[in-house]
Structure formats: structure tokens, C-alpha cells
Amino acid sequence: MVNTHTEFPDPQHPANRVAVTHERRVRQWMRDLAADACAADPEQLADDLLVVLNGVYVTATVLGPQGPAQRTGELARRLIWTACDEPGRP
């Protein structure tokens, strides 16, 4: 979707609208998951994970899956652990 958005920058182009709609849906899905996981700030966690997701697409494409992209899972786990590990919460 990032490539589609880049290749069709006109907000009125149907491909651009599909890319934006898809990204918004993924973001909402991540917010819902973050809320279900009792994240202190579901919106922030979702945004952080969306940046990681989009970053790994580009990094793995450019540097290969054995480069920095191989640490994506660990990065995501740290973000989730930090966001969901607030003392005193159930």
C-alpha cells in the first residue's frame, strides 16, 4: 500500500483512496488489538506498531530479510510489553 500511495499521490485517484483506506483499517485493527491487550494508550501503541510494520516492509525490501528487519518481532514485543505493563492495572 505504501508503494501504491507513492505511485498514485493524487488523493482523488482510486488507487490512492484504496491505499489510504487500507492503512486506516490496519491502524484501527491495531488500535482494537491494543485496547483488548489493555494498553495504557491503545492509539499510541497502534501508531508505533504501524510505523514498525511499514518500516519493515521497506527495510526488508532494501536490505533483505536477514538485515535489521529480522529484529522486527523483538521490537514489536518490546513496544507491546512496555505499553501493556503498567503497574496496578489488571
19-77 per-position pLDDT tens digit:
999 999 999 999 999 999 999 999 999 999 999 999 999 999 999 999 999 999 999 99
At 87, is the pLDDT very low, low, confident or very high (cuts 50, 70, 90)?
low
- HEC secondary structure over 34-56: HHHCCCCCHHHHHHHHHHHHHHH
Whether 20 is covered by a domain: the verdict is yes
Whether 34 is covered by a domain: the verdict is yes
Q: Does the predicted model carry a pTM greater than 0.75?
A: yes
At 16, is the pLDDT very low, low, confident or very high (cuts 50, 70, 90)?
very high
At 86, is the pLDDT very low, low, confident or very high (cuts 50, 70, 90)?
low
Whether 89 is covered by a domain: the verdict is no
User: Looking at the 3D structure of the chain, how many domains does it have?
Assistant: 1
Q: Which domain holds residue 79?
A: 2-84
Average pLDDT value for residue range 7-15? 95
Whether 90 is covered by a domain: the verdict is no
Give the whole-angstrom CA distance, residue 50 versus residue 64.
20
